[in-house]
Amino acid sequence: MSASPKGFRFATVSAGFRKEARPDLALIVSDTPATAAGVFTTNRFQAAPVVVARENLAARPVARAVVINSGQANACTGDEGMTNCRTTLDLVGKACGIPAAEVLPASTGVIGAQLHMDKWREAAPRLAAALGQNTHHDFARAIMTTDAFPKVAERELAIAGTTVRLVGMAKGAGMICPNMATMLSVVLCDAAVAPEAWQRLFLDAVDRTFNRVTVDGDTSTNDTVFGLANGASGVTVEGEDLAKLGEALTDVLARLAYMLVQDGEGATKVMRVKVSGAVDDAEAEAVARTVGHSQLVKTAMYGRDANWGRIVAAVGRSGASFKAEDVVVTLCGVELFRNGQPTDLDFDTLLREPLKGRDVAVDIELGAGTGHYELLASDLTHDYVNCNADYRS
């Protein structure tokens, strides 16, 4: 476990937003103003914290704090929800002695309920008083909803002879299909980075990681990724070093993205769907998403069933251009389908042990071009249905 990036403090408290008594309100404060980046859900019903965070970052890409509550999404809550969100930033900002405009909000939980403002007023001073008493691991734990485990990824790299640290924290297990789940993430870095460069690095890293996962094909109203870079290490990243930082950032987000799928509600498998030989990358993505979203494919993987027919049927309805006889499907290294028909291998026997594992490689070659795409997808289990059938009750 590496050290947390310099110049950040953490606090978590139990505000009573959830039924069970556990930390459900989490705060990060940077000791100095940090360059801030944000990437948000593309769902047209955007939660109040998404709207407010967008406004704050558009006015000035600088932040001192991130505050996240679990238990209430504050989505589809109208003008009252917007007012309440801004009030929470006033409460946290006043308690911490920082401008409310430099506090970025995020929320997760049931859609439609108004925030419990009495509980916010009581919790904000306690949250500020707890700063420095918690770690980034505590923060990751406090923002969980149906998550089975906290999601943290750390990375160190050397720039200009000095160690730069990054840490990423995320939550998400269901309603996961970011298109930027209920997915929230915060990445902290103790280097200084220009706002335009930091936002560009984030957009690229999110596109290559969080935008390539699916649990259930649903994109949340609240999906948010924040990045704060405060310069506390004394290193300014620019020029050729930006690519190095971008690689480290992508690595952090990639590990978090894997954990989101690994922790998919009820999930037992992580399918790595790789499509190659498409006409272009867009058609490769269409194939990967059709396969990864297919309930029949997902249930087959849960049942450890090498059902190539479900995979081929999904490929065939994806809308991609190819000749059926050129398609090759391989599962966990065992070729199942070629020349328009199954191979003569005893793949049920060959795949009996590989399909017991968590990671399942699904490789699809279309033979139509150079386009390629990779998607992480979970399986679909009885527990997913049970969890979501009982979500509000």
Positions marked catalytic: 182
Left (φ > 0), alpha (ψ -120 to 50) or beta: where does 172 sit? left
DSSP state of 297: H
Burial class (CB in 10 A: 0-12, 13-18, 19+), 247: middle
Say if residues 253 and 185 touch (Cβ distance below 8 Å): yes
Q: Can you read off the two tokens belonging to residue 98?
A: 């920082």
Amino acid identity of residue 320, one-letter, is A
Amino acid identity of residue 261, one-letter, is V
Q: Can you read off the two tokens belonging to residue 126?
A: 């306690």
What count of residues does the chain have?
A: 393
Q: Report the C-alpha gap between 46 and 221 in whole angstroms.
A: 5
Say if residues 170 and 254 touch (Cβ distance below 8 Å): no
